Amino acid sequence: MSTEIRVPTLGESVTEATVATWFKKLGDHVAVDEMLCELETDKVTVEVPSPVAGTISEIVAPEGSTVSVEALLAQISEGAAAPEPAAVSRKTPEAESVTVMVPTLGESVSEATVATWYKQPGDSVTQDEILCELETDKVSVEVPAPAAGILGKTLAPEGSTVQAGGQLAVISSAVLQAPTSGTADAAPSGRKDLEDAPSAKKLMAETGLDRSKVTATGKDGRVMKEDVQTVLAAKPATLAIAMTPASPPRAAVPVEDAAREERVKMTRLRQTIARRLKDSQNTAAMLTTYNEVDMTEVMALRNEYKDLFLKKHGVKLGFMSFFTVACCHALREIPEVNSEIDGTDIVYKNFVHMGIAAGTPTGLVVPVIRDADAMSFAEIEKAIAEKSTRARDGKLSMTEMQGGTFTISNGGVYGSLMSSPILNPPQSGILGMHKIQDRPMAINGQVVIRPMMYLALSYDHRVVDGKGAVIFLVRVKEALEDPRRLLMDL
């Protein structure tokens, strides 16, 4: 008899947790109420006890995986301990099983989402046949079968998050070993009954691409997803994307409108952006204060020295270095804007790791310039240029986007005149820059035209009071309207 171990109730409004630690492993004997594993949520840590005595016959959710309430964690076979799997394999090799593991996902990428299973439990598979496709915030990864056999239970359903090195499924490899071996010996390379990679077939169907136009590089002449992408990249103007709806139109949408819609699954990066920004709104007591800055002096200083600056440092003098230095000075005076909340503690940062928000073809990323408060204008400009290039090319590592203590977002490059930026958690402040626009201003009783920019500081009111936020923004304004203050450390 087998008993299912499921995720218990985690607390009010808590729907999911992370499997932090397994105290027992597959094949271990457990007693009633003995702790099996520990789950972590953003509020509490939950221990999961065994409801029965028996042997752990299956672990469905490995360490690091995300599980929802009532999700299956493991199976326990009640009664005496079963022999270890290794012993069974030695005695009965014909019943050998092979575990399908999450492959290496790339530099600094530790987890992925299971996007699509191309095979179902009970399906027969051949060695190297594509079983599923994983998505990370950078790339898609196809997972081939490590052996021929019958696909057993899939341990990570579509939509679940898996860790590098985690378990995906189990294949009973010996079931088809004999016939597969014989067939392989008899079949010539590139035989016609071998299927192309499912993701490749899907992409060819979506784009209307003829398979004969694709050069196959996969084993035994299989067409892989990369092969199709190579052809698409070479002939973008001649390919028409099929717009056939994948499912019946929604009841609320007229048929003629539904036929013109296109449904595209969110990328892992877009899902991460959406989740983090919504978490920020749900968690922080976010408020925004505004001011405006006269950019006359900064623009004059930049125009006077930009050629000499470029000649000496090999990088253009932009506005971002002025804003970065000005913010570093203001953060030193108002340290709570450069802090974060950790439970019931406030963690003050005695350094500035400046996040510079950058738009890319795949979404918003925030590379971090570490110890920006200790850098010169030239060092900041070089760092911004280098990070921006890597962001556009999709070459930023996770490490380069972590650890920021404050963020600057420049919506002005896209023409934004005014906006309220959203906090980049767990940071407590973000400065929004905007378009420089000539406006009539009253200066010493005279109306004059000045290049003005609106500034917006969004902050976490749980740790930053309104007074501190206003003073911070005033200090940034003062430094930019009289850049000599930056040189004098005022």
pLDDT, one tens digit per residue, over 97-127 is: 788 888 877 656 678 888 888 888 888 888 8
For the ranges 31-45, 129-143, 243-257, 378-392, the one whose mean pLDDT is highest: 378-392
With pLDDT > 90 as the criterion, what percentage of the chain qualifies?
31
- Choice among 193-197, 269-273, 354-358 with the minimum mean pLDDT: 193-197
**331-345 pLDDT, tens per residue?**
999 999 999 998 888
CA distance 473 to 428: 14
Phi/psi at 239 (nearest 5 deg)? -105, 130
Burial class (CB in 10 A: 0-12, 13-18, 19+), 171: buried
Residue 208 has pLDDT above 80, yes or no: no
The dihedral region occupied by 404, where left means phi > 0, alpha psi between -120 and 50, and beta the remainder, is: beta
Cα 210–215–216 angle (5° rounding)? 105
pLDDT of residue 468 exceeding 90 = yes
Domains defined for the chain, CATH in brackets: 1-82 (2.40.50.100), 89-185 (2.40.50.100), 197-265 (4.10.320.10), 270-487 (3.30.559.10)
237 or 340: whose pLDDT is higher? Answer: 340
How confident is the model at residue 238, as a pLDDT?
43
Q: Give me the chain's average pLDDT, please.
A: 80
- The reported pLDDT for the residue numbered 17 is 81
Nearest to 381 by CA among 315, 330, 290, 428: 315
Model pLDDT, residue 102:
87
Tell me what pLDDT residue 310 has: 93
166-194 mean pLDDT: 54
Q: Is the pLDDT at 351 greater than 50, yes or no? A: yes
Catalytic-role residue among 371, 465, 482, 489: 465
Q: Would you say residue 426 has pLDDT above 90?
A: no
Does residue 313 carry a catalytic annotation?
no
What is the pLDDT confidence band of residue 84, given thresholds at 50, 70 and 90? Answer: very low
Who wins on pLDDT, 119 or 486? 119
Annotation marks residue 461 as catalytic: yes
User: What average pLDDT does this structure show over 292-308?
Assistant: 94
Which residues, at least 6 apart from 320, have a Cβ–Cβ distance to it below 8 Å?
356, 380, 381, 384, 408, 410
Task: Give pLDDT, residue 322.
Answer: 94
151-178 average pLDDT score: 77
- Please tell me the pTM assigned to this model: 0.50
**pLDDT the model gives residue 82:** 41
42, 123, 257, 461: which is the annotated catalytic residue? 461
